[in-house]
Structure formats: structure tokens, C-alpha cells
Chain A
């Protein structure tokens, strides 16, 4: 029945088009919300003026506000959100665990410990209180960033190293090792804070709140490069991830080197997330929730889940950051908390509405 076959192929094409459309819609939404985020704030800048500023034709005041404050902030949200969400999607696949994200293997906890070490021990956190909005600033950020990055990526490399000695350590074992190391870092942070003075403690706490404003153009550029290479690797492996969704044995029989894909993916996810976290502090929940929101629309099909998650992460983080900036302006609420406040209800809604997860 060639006719029936044809119909079937056509309906499959239509189904694939729907997935592509999901990406296009999410992408367009990100741009629109991004523009809105740039235009809003204590200084209202109309959208046309925002466009003008991209070509250097806005009024000096708008130009400076956009280029030095708003645009870097929104761009940081886009890149950080994408990195965290893509890492979450891939971690959930390779560790075969819906709760996995970069934090599962201790990236956030390690980075928090690193930051605490940088601020308290290496004196990276000299504080000054100039306004209510920035109660505490970290005046020597590089040492803090470097420490946060080193310790953020450390636990994953310990886990990968351990897995080399015990070859039959499966995903569950890796997660447990990550949990153990996370709690080690959390304990370490607590001890450091116990012996630190109040100003340094508040610096540490402020760092862990997360702040998208702390990423300048250099940081954004570094993170964009990291995101690019991570995305290339993940997309090259998208068929492998799809195969791994069907179970490790099936994946192996389809020619996937499951162990290598798992360990390399873990390493890349952790490195990329560690870079993001060390620049902007801890931003929870995006890495977990953005991929799951997209799973509701495109299923566990990594051909589309990877790009869609990236965009969903960006969108979620811009929304959260704009909310955090505007809700009780001029005070900027901690972004780490807001992502959870906005993400959790949205996620619960999608979960219980039982959105058609045909995928």
C-alpha cells in the first residue's frame, strides 16, 4: 500500500515540523522578552530606541544604559540560561535520572565552596556598602571566580577519576559519588563561614545569591565560546543520546560507546556550568526545569530537545531576572531564588496539566 506509506511519511514530516515550530516559537519569545527586558527598568527606554542603540543612534543616556548595563545583563541571562539548561538536559540523559542537572555532581556546591575560599581565605571579598541595591560587592572578583571555577569543576573530575578505578560504576553510583562530594563541599563552606567575620560571610552569602549583573562583556564572550563548543559536542551526539534513552544495552547494540559518551558529556556539562556559575553565582532550578518543560513539548528526542532546552533556559532566566529587577525596584532580588519561584509553579502546572507529551 504505497499510498498509506506516503500518508504516514507525510504525517511524520508534519510531526517533525511541529517540533521545529516549538523551537522557532521559543526562540522568538526569547528575543521579544529580551527586548522588553532591555527597555524596562528605572529608566524606561522605548523599544525603537533600543533598536537605535544597537546602531549607536540612541540618546547618550539610553546608549550608555543599554550598552553598559541592560544589554550585558540580558545577554548574560541568555548565555547562562542556555548553558545550564543544555547541561541539565544532557545530564538527565546520560545519568538516566530525571532529577539530574549540573548540581547533581556538585558543581554548585563546589563553586560555592570555592567562592567562600576565595573570599574568606584569599581575601577576595573586600566589601563596601554604597547603596541598598548593591549592599555588598566583591572587589577582587578574579580570585573568587577562579576559585569558584576550580572547585565547581573539581567534584566532577573526582567522580570521573573514581569511575576509572571502578569500571562497573553505573549512573546511580556516579550520582551517589556526586552527592557525597557535594555534601563534603557544603560542609567545607559551613566550616569556612563559621570562622569568618560577618562582612566576609555576607560577601559569601551575597555571592551564592547569584547576580547576572556581575558578568561583563569579557565573561559573556568566554561563556559564549564555551556554550558554542558544548552545543557542537552535544548536537554531534544527539543520536547517541536518543539511543541511550532506550537503555544502555540497546544503545550499545546500536554502536554507541555508552561509557565514553556518558563520561565526556558529564565532563563538558560540568565544565560549562562551572564557568557559568563562577561568573554569576549559583542559579538553581533552570538546569533542571528548562529541559523538563521542553520534554513536554518535543519529548525525549534530543535532536530537538537540546536546542529547545537551550532557548527555554535563556527565556526562563531573562524572565526571572527581569522580574527580580522590576518587582520591588530599585532593589534587585536574588536571581537564584527567583528562578525557583517562577520555575516551580510553571513546572508544576505543566506536570499536572498532563501536557500531551507525545514525543
Chain B
């Protein structure tokens, strides 16, 4: 269970606020989508939750504990974060994922750490790449490695910043299915910054809409309405259903009534 309360953030005190008084919660096994147009503060919100940026106000509670009061190592055992763009890493897949065990490693990786990494590699179907250099993998494979590293942290909260942006359609679905499956199996809360509304509506349980640095709307499928999407993205959409799968069809040329 994760509670995010009253997060506010500005890069400079005099500067405009990037985030203003954002509050929401994530229940166990739940996958929430953080939505909003470019510059709405989605990535910054994830960074504030993981204290990569220090918010000016607000608290984040994971399982009833204030993460801002934890040591950095303790926090890394609770929250894992996968950034939007990963730098090319001259390190093998195995070693990259082993880094996820860093918050638990005292002097050197134990055989248990290596076993956990090996299991995750198996789960993510990365066996064929285990000793290959990450920088030589395709975008999709590298993205899976980053995700695997975050899972090796055995976090209670998993933060993903656009995990599907570099992936082909098949891999997009595969990665999100894996995330959902692992979240359910390990009781992890997940927050995903995602641009693809169709992926969001299909794989996420609840939706955080950010608009102009503020929380515009938060809720389940009931907030995924054409009106809300229109107000947040300044774009007209229709929501329909095909074989039980909700589909959002954009009509960018239609005039938006604001």
C-alpha cells in the first residue's frame, strides 16, 4: 500500500511549480497509470516519490512507513525506479541485473543474490543474453534488462517512466503483461508513466491525470472519459470496445471545446 500526499516541487524557489499538491494512493497489486501531456510533471512526480528530486512538501508512505525518513539503502529496498532513457551500459546483462541487489549487498554479492538474478533472468526470458553487453542489445531487450534490475531490488513500489516508449508493439504488450504478472505474484504496487492511452486503459487499474502541474483527476475506468482526456490532452477522442477490450480512438482534427 502506497500513499502519496501533498507533493509539491519546483526546481527553484522562485521558479514555477512543476508539481502542486499531488496526492493519490496505490493499493496492493495495483498498477496505476500516470497520464498527462508533455511537461505536465509526470516524470518529476516519479522522481520525487523516489527522492531523486527532493520535493518541497509532501510525504510518501510505503506500507505505513515514511520513505523520506528512511536511509537511502533502506529506500532502495522499498522503491525501484526505471528511468525513461537508459544510458548505454558497457556491462553484461547479468551484472546489470545484479546491481539491483546492491541495496542488499554488504561487501560482495552472495550466492543467494546471484540465484535471485538467475531466477529473474529466467522469468524475463533473458537467458540467451545473460552474458552479453547491455549496450549491444536491442532497445526492447535493454528495456527488459532495466526492468529486471528493478525487480531484483524486490521493491514494494515499482516506478516505471515510459517503459514501452522504445518497444515494438509485441514487446510493449509483453513488458506490460510481465509487469502486471510480477506485481500480482509479488504484491508490488506499480506506477507507470505512459503516453499510449490504449496500453494504459488495457493494463492499468487506475489513472492519475496531471494537468498544469496539478492533479486533474484520479480514479478507475470511470475517469477514463472522452471529456477528461479531451481536457488533459487537448484532443478529441472516442472510447469504444472491441471484443471486450476498451479502445481509445483519437480524432485530432476535430475541434476541442474548451
Partner of B99, one of A8, A9, A243, A358: A243
In the complex, chain B residues 184-218 whose Cβ is within 8 Å of any chain A Cβ: none
Q: Which residues of A contact B102 (CB under 8 A)?
A: 239, 242-243, 254-256
Partner of B50, one of A4, A5, A252, A301: A252
Once the chains are docked, how many angstroms separate the CA of A358 from the CA of B89?
Answer: 11
Q: A247 near B83 (CB under 8 angstroms)?
A: yes
The yes or no answer to B37 lying at the interface (CB within 8 A) is no
Partner of B86, one of A5, A243, A246, A300: A246
Q: A254 near B133 (CB under 8 angstroms)?
A: no
Partner of A9, one of B73, B80, B86, B115: B115
The yes or no answer to B75 lying at the interface (CB within 8 A) is yes
In the complex, chain A residues 117-153 whose Cβ is within 8 Å of any chain B Cβ: none
Stretch in B21-29, B118-126, B166-174, B249-257 touching the partner: B118-126
B 234-257 binary contact with A (CB < 8 Å = 1; else 0): 000000000000000000000000
Q: Which residues of B contact A11 (CB under 8 A)?
A: 130-131
Q: A246 near B72 (CB under 8 angstroms)?
A: no
Q: Which residues of A contact B73 (CB under 8 A)?
A: 255
Q: Which residues of A contact B74 (CB under 8 A)?
A: 255
The yes or no answer to B66 lying at the interface (CB within 8 A) is no
The yes or no answer to B139 lying at the interface (CB within 8 A) is no
Q: Which residues of B contact A249 (CB under 8 A)?
A: 47, 52, 81, 83
Partner of B75, one of A255, A300, A301: A255
The yes or no answer to A295 lying at the interface (CB within 8 A) is yes
Once the chains are docked, how many angstroms separate the CA of A295 from the CA of B89?
Answer: 12
Stretch in B90-98, B175-183, B223-231 touching the partner: B90-98
Q: Which residues of A contact B86 (CB under 8 A)?
A: 246-247, 250
With A5-B118, A9-B118, A299-B92: A253-B76 Cβ-Cβ less than 8 Å = yes
In the complex, chain A residues 59-92 whose Cβ is within 8 Å of any chain B Cβ: none
With A9-B114, A239-B102, A247-B83: A253-B50 Cβ-Cβ less than 8 Å = yes
Q: B72 near A257 (CB under 8 angstroms)?
A: yes
Q: A255 near B91 (CB under 8 angstroms)?
A: no
Q: Which residues of B contact A301 (CB under 8 A)?
A: 91, 95
The yes or no answer to A15 lying at the interface (CB within 8 A) is yes
**What is the CB-to-nearest-CB distance from B131 to chain A, in angstroms, rounded to a whole number?**
6
Q: B103 near A254 (CB under 8 angstroms)?
A: yes
With A299-B90, A358-B132, A359-B92: A239-B83 Cβ-Cβ less than 8 Å = no
Once the chains are docked, how many angstroms separate the CA of A261 from the CA of B131?
Answer: 28
The chain B residue sitting closest to A249, CB to CB, is B83
With A4-B127, A12-B130, A301-B91: A256-B96 Cβ-Cβ less than 8 Å = no
Once the chains are docked, how many angstroms separate the CA of A247 from the CA of B76?
Answer: 16
What would 29 A/B residue contacts be, using CB atoms closer than 8 Å? A4-B127, A5-B115, A5-B118, A5-B122, A11-B131, A15-B131, A242-B91, A242-B99, A245-B91, A246-B89, A246-B91, A246-B99, A247-B86, A249-B52, A250-B83, A250-B146, A252-B50, A253-B81, A253-B159, A254-B76, A254-B102, A295-B90, A299-B92, A299-B95, A299-B133, A300-B90, A357-B133, A359-B91, A359-B92
The 6 closest A-B CB pairs, nearest first, are A255-B76, A253-B81, A255-B72, A255-B73, A300-B90, A247-B87
Q: A255-B76, A359-B92 are in contact. List 8 more A-B contacts (CB 8 A).
A: A4-B122, A9-B114, A239-B102, A245-B87, A246-B96, A254-B103, A255-B77, A295-B90
